[in-house]
Every structure is written in C-alpha cells, then in structure tokens.
Chains A and B, each alone.
Chain A
Amino acid sequence: MFFYYLKLAKKSLLKTPITTALMVLAIALGIGVSMNALTLNHVRSVNPMPEKGKQLFALQLQTMNKIGTRHTYDDMPMQVTYQDAINIQRMTPSIRQISSVKTGFAIQTQDPDFAPILQSARATQSDFFEMFNIEFLYGGSWGKEIDHSPDNQVVIAEELNERLFGGGDNLGKNIYLNQNSYRIVGISKSWNPKPKFYDLNNGQFQRSEQVYIPFSLLPVHEYPSWGNNNGWGPEKIDTYQDKLNSEIMWIQYWVELENNDKKSDFLNFLAGYVEQQKKLGRFERDDARGTLRNVEEWLEYNEVVGNDSNILVGISFMFLAVCLINTVGLLLAKFLKRAPEIGVRRALGANQAQVFLQHLVEVGVLGFLGGVLGLVIANIGLFILRNQYDGFDVLATMDMSMFIAAPLIAISATVLSGLYPAWRVCTTLPSIHLKTQ
C-alpha cells in the first residue's frame, strides 16, 4: 500500500510542478537556515569529556576582597592562586587533582639546522594525562615524584613529534625549551577537545598545547603564564616569588571525584579551608567559598554556546515555522482543489484512513525532498562560513547526528504541517463533489 501511495504522491507532485517546487524550496530554505544555525550551536554545546564529564570538577575559590568583581554571574574567579593550588593539594593527598597553566617556549632540537619554533605549552602534573584520558603512543607521563622534586622532563604530542623528528619513537632524546635541555619521556596521542574545556582563557576553540612540562618546574625556571593573570587589588609584583605568594589568579585547577559522597566531602573540606584562611586574613568576603563545577556545568557557566548562537537558533526556527505555515497553506489549497478526484476515490470504496494516509505519504515525500535539499543548503552555508571566517573550520562542520537530524526534522515538521490539510481533504463528504460533476 505504501508504495502505491508513493506512486500516487509522485504523480500528484509532478502534476503541479511549480507548486511542488515552491513547497520543496520553502521547506529546504527553512531547514537549511535552521540547520546551519543549529550546527554552530551543536558544536559549541557538545560535551568534550562524555566519559568523565560528571567526575571532573573545575575548582573555584572566592578569594577576592569585597569590591572585587569578575565577569561571571556570581562574581567567582575562574582561576585560583598559586598558593591555594599548592595548599589544597598538600592537604588532600588521596584525591586526584591537578594544577595546570599555559606557558610557552621557543623549541629547538639537537639538529642545528632546525629553525626554532614557538609553541604554547602546558605546565601541569603527572595525573593530567590519566585524568583527561590522554593516551600515549610511546612512553608515558613523568613519574609522580617529579611533581615534588622537579626535573627537566617533557611529554610532546604526536603532531609536534612529527614536526620535530618526522615521527617515530623518540623517547630519551633531548629537546631545548628556551635553551634548557628537556628529556622526552612520553609522546602522547593527538588530543584536541572542543571546546577546550580545561582552559577556556584564550579562545574556547583553540588547539590544545603540544608540549607538557612538570608544574613543579615553574618556580625553578620562572616560566610566565601565557594565559590570563587576574588580580583584584593593588599588589606590587617585582619578582616571580612575589607572584607565587600573591593573590593573582592564574592556575586552572581540576579535581576528580567519583561520586556525590566524595564531592560533598571535598566541598566540606573546602569550607574548612576557607575558614582556616580567613583566620590568616584572606578570603574577606561574606560569600567567600569554594565551588566545584563538572564539565557540563563549567561549559554552561562560561557561556561557551554564546548568546549570538542561541539567538540565531531561535530566530531561524521561527523562520522555519513561517516556511512551514506557508507549506500548510499551499498544501491546503492543493488538496482541496483535488477534492473532486478524492470524492471519486471515496465513492469507489477508499475509506477516510486510506485517503488520509495517501496524503500524508505525499507530504512525507515533500518533507524528504525539502530535507535533503535543506541539507545541501546548510552545507553550502557552512562551507561559506568556513572560508569567510577564521576559526570556523571546527565550528562549522556537521557531525553524523546533524546529518541524520536534518532530514528527520524536515520530514516530521512537514508531516506535522500536512496533518491538517490531509484531515480536511479526507473529511469532506464525497457526495458534495460528486454532485457538482
């Protein structure tokens, strides 16, 4: 029966090619524009750590004075101070947690002909890799003891390994970071979470760093932060040690807590820590506290999706609604015009349900055509975006779910809008039309 209806649909659609074309075009434009907007939104709202999204928490501490403000809605700073990072880790040794900060180096190899390249790097701790599920091609992280007794060891990512050595196992070789010799202990597999949730400071869709060095080396070599350094009060910083002792917030801090019990334990610990620090004259605000946000909450808190993206999705779906209303109008006109023919079919024994289904199939075909064309339009739009705007090579790409979603949304939306016209035509009495003939 379905194929018979398909045949009927084809016949009917081809009978009025202009109306059909207009309807398909209207649906396609509506789907195309809204899919385009939705793709931009979807890519931004993807959780980059689905496996561990509920176990990894960004730590925030309200260390500011009473008049300090940040751009967040609750005025909480996004980063922590060096002293808090060191204190908290020392006080809770059983919990997996890492300090990390972006820095960078001029990199040279032992090959004197290799022109030095500038690369951003991440100073962090040995647990970073396991915490964020980063795999290794060769070797692994530096040992845990290096987190306390610094040593010039380095992990480089696959891409940099290609660039420096043309790939391969290069464990044990030395590279020079700002002329300091570092021994390669691990070569990690390419890891580029989008958004770059673990450090949203300088561009939410930046590439990940390809050089990892022990955090414990920071005070040794006095490496600067290449990310944001946020202060809130006048503090004179003359030396690197001044910065380490200061209230400047520049460290990204992540904690892994397997369940809610552990989370509430850690929050209790933080409350105690804030009280203790208050006695030392820090944390002077009434709302001084520590908070934990998991990956999803963290991305939402940082408004990674962005207002513009949400507005565009809203407006483009209103636009899709207009396109569909238009289609309903055209369908209604078309079906009713055909009422006499339906009258004959009814008189010959087709029941209401069959007539209804026949028309829905026709509408479904329209929706499918519109959806496919809409997909093409959306991809043309995304192609233009990728070429016209910097940084959209990641944002403006459809993943599989969007490819499936587009025609599905198109078909269900058109079928929905076809319900009324189909119902109208199947409920008209056949006798009326038979009479006038």
Chain B
Amino acid sequence: MLRNKSSVILMVLQVALTLAVVSNAAYIINERLELMQRNSGLDESQLFSFNIFTFDKAIDIQQQLELDENMLRAIPGVNDAVAINQVPLTGSGDSSGYRVQIEESGAKIVQAGVYRADEHVLKTLGLTVIEGRDFTQDDVIYATGASQPNTVIITKAMADELFPDGNAVGKDIYQFEQPIRIIGIVGHMQGSWLGSSYVNNNIFIPVVHPRTFKRFLINTDNTAIDRIMSNITQKMLALNKGRVVMEPNKLTDDLRDQYQSDDLMVNMLIIIISIILFITALGVSGMAIFNVNRRKRQIGTRRALGASQTDIITQFMIENFLMTAIGIIIGIILSIFLNGYLMEYFSSSRIAISYIMATTIGLVLLGQLAVLFPAKSAASISPAISTRSV
C-alpha cells in the first residue's frame, strides 16, 4: 500500500469527502422530511378556496356574502362553506398579538393567525371543539369598522401558551382594552405560515367584515371536489357580475407549494447522494483494478508460494478496509466541521451521530463490495505468471 502513496491519499480523500457530504445531506433530508410530514390538523383533500374582489360599488357586500354562502352551501356535495379573511396553509393572511392582562406593559404577547368568519368556520375547516362550545349565530358580529368580538375560539397550542395551567375556557384575553371571552378550544390546526414559530397558534373570531377582497373556503365530499371546483366561478358570477372571481385552489396544492423549496432541497440532495456513492464506488473499483494489474507478478508469486485464492481476496479486502478506515476517520472530523459551519451560518441543527455512523457503515460495505470483483479477478491470476519475465 505504502508503495503507491498518491493513490492511497486520493482514495482516503475521496472517502472522507463522500462521508462528509452524504452524512450531512442525509441529515438535512431527514430534517426537511420531518418538517413536511407534520400534521396540518386539516383534511386538505376535502378543502378548496378561491378569492373574490368586489369592484361594483352598488353591491352591499355584507348582504352579497350571505347570498354567496347560501348558494355555495346548497351545492350537492358541499359539506359547508364560509367567507373568510384567510385560508390556512396558503402562506398569506393576518396575524395579531394577544395577551392575558389588560395592561400593555409587561404583558406576554402571544402571536396567532386570525380567522374571521361566521359560525360555519369550524365545520368548514373540519375542526371539532375539544373543550367549551362552538359558535352559534348569536356570537357573530357583522361589522363595518374594526369591531371587537365578544367571544373567540382558539387552538389548543395557543391556549397552552396563554394559560400554561390549563382551563382557558371562560377566561378573557385582550388585543386592546376590551376583554374577549374564550368560549371554546379546538385541537390542532396549522395556520398560514408553515415556517413561523406560531404556526399552531390560531384564533377564530366571529366577526364578518364587508371587505372588497374576500376568500371563500369550501369543504366538500372527497369525490365531488373536482366537479364542484370546475364551475364555481360561473356560479359566483351568475349570482352577481360586479366582482372578479379568481381561480379556485385545492388546499393540497397550496400545501405542496408551501413546501416546494423543502421538496426541491430533498430531491437535489437525494440525487447528489446517489451519484456521489456511485462515483465513489467506481473510484474504489478502478483503483483496485489498477492495483491488481500492477501487482500481477507479485500476486502470482504469492500464489506460487502457497497463498490460497481466499488469501488474495482477503488481502485486497483488508487493504481496502484500511484505506476506507483512514478516510472515515478524516471524514468524521470533516462531517462535524461541515455541520458546524451549516449550524453557524444556515441555522441548521446539530447532526445526530447516528447519521455519521450509518454513513460510515454504508461506506465500508460499499468499499468492500466495490473491491470484491477486482479482488476476485486478482485471485484468479495463475501462479505461473510469476515465472514469466514480462
């Protein structure tokens, strides 16, 4: 081995770099997959939404919203529908801060996504109240200005953050000076911004504003969603032409769009990992073939002196193992260094040691496998070769 230092160094370097890249890439892949596999708390496949913009000043928006909702709710296959200010999982919407005491100073402010709609909101989203009660028609306020609600329902995550001791139902929270009573708590729901720290904090406010820009959220039977989506624009315009109705979007598509960059990262890294392993295996094989060819006579002599075929194979396997081992030691240091760099500059987290271990084992196996074929061909060298002069 030591007689051919440069090729050993190359092998070691290659193994080290491969280990560093593969272990870190695998770790990032796993981080992203975990992010993407979080439960949204919604049945996205049943939900779609569309935006409307009312431009005709003659329209009484409040009244028109009621008509629209009634029309939508009456479509066969629609479970429920609601006019709403924002749609979860879409990456756009409103958020506000809430506190448990009336004084502004020193109050802990809990940020949350804000959902303003009538009493159909929970049913449309498919959420169930786990504590307290759902909204009734009496809770709903039809407002023109920034009217404050009297009652709200919040998600469990938000309740836990506001009231760590529990029993949030019946308590008051504040956005301004006026108390707002929590009447119910729903389980888990992700809000609009999947990357934000308060993605699970969401608050439902039974106030309907007559805004020119509105969204509609529709919950359908699984099988009916495409049929209903296909002519929803015409149905809305048939009811009133004084607005622009935008293309409907499924929540499954919104969700996919939100995770697009993570998905891209995962796919790119998977491709890089597979090619780098392939290349490294080729390199190991190539080096072994080169060594076998160069040492034909030496191998022949060993065979002539009584070494069995297994001995020759073992010799190459051990040589490969030693080189891989040195590469791995350097590679582990390199991986940790690379991870440290990623942590410092790209807010990644500390790599789990299991990723380095798994990559190490994988690389040893890959190296051994890659060297097996050249080693076998070495073992089949006839001892007679040692007697020839060239």
Contact = CB atoms under 8 A, between A and B. Distances in A.
A312 B97 CA distance: 36
Contacts of B283: 325-326, 329-330
B14 A326 contact: yes
Contacts of A318: 17, 20-21
A268 interface: no
Contact of A106 (B53, B104, B293): B53
A125 to B, nearest CB: 25
A308 B261 contact: yes
Contact of B275 (A33, A117, A333, A424): A33
Interface stretch (A87-95, A231-239, A250-258): A231-239
Chain A interface residue bracket vs B: 35 or more
A179 B146 contact: no
B25 interface: yes
Interface in A209-241: 224, 233-234, 236-239
Given A117-B244, A202-B92, A234 B286 contact: no
B272 A33 contact: yes
Interface in B228-275: 243-244, 246, 257, 260-261, 263-265, 268-269, 271-272, 275
B243 A106 contact: yes
Contacts of B57: 178-179
A332 B10 contact: yes
Interface string B78-119: 000000000000001000010000001000010000000000
A310 B272 CA distance: 15
B286 A329 contact: yes
A37 B275 CA distance: 15
A238 B282 CA distance: 70
A237 B13 CA distance: 63
A118 interface: yes
A315 B25 contact: yes
B7 A237 contact: no
Contacts of B293: 337
Interface in B130-177: 145-146, 175-176
Contacts of A336: 294
A322 interface: yes
Contacts of B145: 238-239
Contact of B55 (A179, A312, A389, A391): A179
The 7 A-B residue pairs whose C-beta atoms are closest, nearest first, are: A106-B55, A333-B290, A238-B145, A326-B283, A118-B244, A307-B346, A329-B10
18 contacts: A33-B272, A116-B244, A118-B246, A236-B146, A236-B176, A308-B264, A311-B342, A318-B21, A321-B17, A322-B276, A325-B10, A325-B14, A325-B17, A326-B286, A329-B10, A329-B11, A390-B257, A420-B6
